């Protein structure tokens, strides 16, 4: 896949992921008490509403940095930052480690699951980009070999 085609795909994917994450995180923040929480004996406590709200900004900053690095063709660095952003969606899996998560209303299930899928897709893209970084960097941008 060419850099241009990969860029088009990434822009659509990142845009969709941000849109879905806004819906998920705003709902999680505003309707915090409607989400199931782990019991008092849980190994990992539930994050507060403030942590949920702050987390969106932190994760999205990773995504923005990843996109900036991508457009500058720092492919491997972009892949690392995009991997950090992918956690924004993948962390939604934690909802389903709590009893009662399957009882959430259908539209909440839909945006949580869609956010998880977007996180997995961003992670998959980041891994693909890291693996193919040498093909995505134009020849003129590569360091020439040392003269003999």
What pTM value is reported for the model? 0.87
Q: pLDDT by residue (tens digit) across 34-85?
A: 888 887 787 878 888 999 999 999 999 999 999 999 999 999 999 999 999 9
Q: For the chain, percent helix, then strand, then coil, each to nearest 5?
A: 75, 0, 25
Mean pLDDT over each residue of the chain, to the nearest integer: 90
Q: Which residue's structure tokens are 């009893």?
A: 99
User: What tokens appear for 43 in the block?
Assistant: 């190994």
Note whether 44 and 95 are within 8 A (CB). no
pLDDT tens digits for range 24-40? 999 999 998 888 888 77
Three-state SS for 102?
helix
- What's the mean pLDDT in 99-124? 93
pLDDT surpassing 70 at residue 102:
yes
């Amino acid at each position: 896949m060419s850099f241009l085609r990969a860029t088009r795909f990434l822009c659509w994917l990142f845009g969709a992921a941000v849109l879905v994450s806004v819906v998920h995180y705003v709902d999680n923040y505003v309707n915090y008490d409607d989400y199931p929480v782990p019991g008092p004996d849980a190994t990992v406590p539930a994050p507060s509403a403030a942590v949920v709200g702050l987390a969106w900004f932190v994760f999205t900053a990773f995504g923005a940095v990843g996109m900036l690095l991508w457009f500058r063709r720092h492919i491997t660095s972009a892949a690392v930052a995009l991997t950090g952003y992918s956690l924004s969606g993948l962390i939604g899996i934690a909802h389903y480690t709590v009893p009662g998560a399957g009882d959430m209303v259908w539209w909440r299930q839909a945006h949580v699951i869609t956010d998880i899928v977007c996180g997995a897709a961003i992670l998959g893209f980041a891994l693909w980009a890291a693996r193919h970084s040498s093909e995505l960097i134009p020849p003129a941008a590569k360091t020439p070999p040392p003269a003999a």
